[in-house]
Structure 1
Amino acid sequence: MSVYSMTGYASGQHILAAATAGAPATRIGLEIRAVNSRFLDISFRLSEELRAHEPALRELLQQRLKRGKVELRAGVESTASDAVREPSPRLLQRLATLQDSVRAWMPDARPLGVADVLRLSATDGAGGTDWTQPLMQLAREAVDELQAARAREGARLATMLLGHLGQLRTLAQQAAPLVPQLVEQQRERFLERWREAMNLAAGATAPQAAEDRALAEATAFAIRIDVAEELTRLASHLDEIERLVKKGGEAGKRLDFLIQELHREANTLGSKSASLELTRISVDMKVLVEQMREQVQNIE
């Protein structure tokens, strides 16, 4: 199953033949834009002729999409080159009659202007047109195109995520041997300080109590800087992220949670750091995790 991005765009148009000879044909134009969102948020911008079809369009989008902020725009327009339909004498007579009737009851009503007449003539005869079949067919094709675009973007995101997982595993492997080395170095440092404090000769042996105290300090230090547990959890999270990416489907929310856990482990690794090298590894990890967070927030 593919990983889908929440970002995509699709558009299309469908031309209907003119109802009468000599009249311009009618074109339905439709476009869908989608960006990332925590939930599925659908909005519509439909022309007056198509507003009745909003429930059917919403149902189609809800069946195919799970997350994202989606905007669907659709409208009807004439294909005539001048984009203006000349009103017929019959229509002008009807409009004049209707205007007289309205103003008889409402004397203060504004008279019809040229723009009003042209707008009404553009929709004249279209009121009885059934747009259902061409509109829904166009919408299904646009959603297919949108899903294909989201799948292509999702594949790119999956590749980037898997690459970042490999880099994080490399950093974890670099961090693992550092802690035992630091513990041994600190143990020797504690013993050396105790010897200096007691003014012992280089070849002398410290009292057992002093040496035990130094070893206890070294042990406490080892416990404080031990990151084995963090590295184990980090490896587990990386394995789970890889499994979800390869499985595909609706993985965005779970991936987002795992990225938060990765960031927490990288932070803890930095807070326990006792060397510049481990600090550098922690910083590099957090940079990679932040890049992954931005990518995961765009996955459905």
Structure 2
Amino acid sequence: MKSMTGYGYEEKQDGKVFLAVEIKGYNNRYLEIYVNLPSFLSSLEARVREYVSSRCRRGKIEIWVRVKELDADIRISVNQGAAKAYYEAINSMAASLGMGETAALGHILAMEGVLNTEKNRDAERYWEALEPLLAEAFAKFETERIREGVHTQEDILSHIGFLEKAAERVAAHGPDLERNIKENIKSRFEELLGDAVDEGRILAETAVLLMKYTISEEISRLSAHLGEFRAEAERNPAPGKKLDFLCQEINREINTIGSKSPVLDVSREVVAMKDALENIREQLRNVE
């Protein structure tokens, strides 16, 4: 079991380039990946996304890649046409104003579009440096998810253990339920018929009501769901969706038991079971 929340960070300087990778994970119903790369490395987004999606199944994951070029290889070109046009325009303006000045080189270089700069950036070369750094950051991210997932699993299974014990206590009240129904029927017959009470009729009416109010099937299904929940949590590294479904089934059986049983102790157990199940569902919101 893994948590959906985690954090990983790694950085290094590779020659003339400083690289840093930061990964953050949050709980989310589905898998959502956000990749933040410098614009000149946008062609690498698909590779980063594929790397993460092949290792995560649920959660909102943000990947930030920061690049600082310490000694960039820059190519500079001069736009001769723009420079000439600026030169002629400045001189023409000076002449029309009666000024004896001419355009200086510094004035022309400051104009937009005269000098064009282009950095020599090879995306493949960046990926060769970025891929191992991404792997190191993700390893830290994964370690955090596993560590938190272990604690979450322990807490969830402790609540499952409580539910299993509670189900056993509820099942033990089966005879109380039968006795309660039988006593209620007998008291009603005595009110109506006095001492002329037919024991066979009481047993027949009791049997009819037991078919309606018995909780043995619900207890059986509840126990099966709890067993499947425990097995799924222990064998599946990403059980979140299946456990969500099992919680719905467990909740349905608990509600049915509560609505059927007139035994006060069973009602108390049902309240405690609902509380434990709510704690489990809260924890599952952060399970992959």
Q: What is the TM-score normalised by the length of structure 1?
A: 0.77
Match of 1:172 in 2: 167
**Residues 42 and 207 (structure 1 numbering): CA distance in 2 closer, same or farther, change over 3 Å?**
closer
Count of residue pairs the alignment pairs up: 263
Match of 1:21 in 2: none
RMSD of equivalent CA atoms: 3.2
Match of 2:190 in 1: 195
Alignment of 1:1-300 (within 5 A): 3-18=1-16, 26-77=17-68, 94=77, 97=79, 100=82, 125=119, 127-128=121-122, 130-200=125-195, 206-208=196-198, 211-300=199-288
1:31-65 per-residue CA deviation (whole Å, 9 max, x = no partner) reads: 11122233322121111232121121122112222
1:192-213 per-residue CA deviation (whole Å, 9 max, x = no partner) reads: 332232243xxxxx253xx443
Output the CA distance in 1 between the equivalents of 2:81 and 2:206. Answer: 97
Output the CA distance in 2 between the equivalents of 1:217 and 1:100. Answer: 104
The answer to whether the Cα contact below 8 Å between 1:44 and 1:73 also exists between their aligned partners in 2 is yes
Q: Which amino acid aligns with 1:289?
A: L
Q: Which amino acid aligns with 1:263?
A: N
Whose Rg is larger? 2
The answer to whether the Cα contact below 8 Å between 1:30 and 1:72 also exists between their aligned partners in 2 is yes
Output the CA distance in 2 between the equivalents of 1:180 and 1:99. Answer: 101
Output the CA distance in 2 between the equivalents of 1:5 and 1:98. Answer: 60
Instruction: Report the more deviating stretch, 138-147 or 48-57.
Output: 48-57
Per-residue deviation, 1:257: 1.1
Per-residue deviation, 1:276: 2.2
Q: Which amino acid aligns with 1:46?
A: L
1:63-108 per-residue CA deviation (whole Å, 9 max, x = no partner) reads: 222222211111212569xxxx9xx9x96xx57x48936987xx9x
Q: Which amino acid aligns with 2:282?
A: E
The answer to whether the Cα contact below 8 Å between 2:19 and 2:130 also exists between their aligned partners in 1 is yes
2:22 aligns to what SS in structure 1?
A: strand
1:244-285 per-residue CA deviation (whole Å, 9 max, x = no partner) reads: 112132322211111111111111111112022211111111
1:170-219 per-residue CA deviation (whole Å, 9 max, x = no partner) reads: 1111111213113213312322332232243xxxxx253xx443333322
The answer to whether the Cα contact below 8 Å between 2:7 and 2:141 also exists between their aligned partners in 1 is yes
1:131 aligns to what SS in structure 2?
A: helix
Per-residue deviation, 1:135: 0.9
The answer to whether the Cα contact below 8 Å between 2:177 and 2:261 also exists between their aligned partners in 1 is no
Q: What is the TM-score normalised by the length of structure 2?
A: 0.80
Q: Which amino acid aligns with 2:82?
A: D
Instruction: Report the more deviating stretch, 258-267 or 128-137.
Output: 128-137
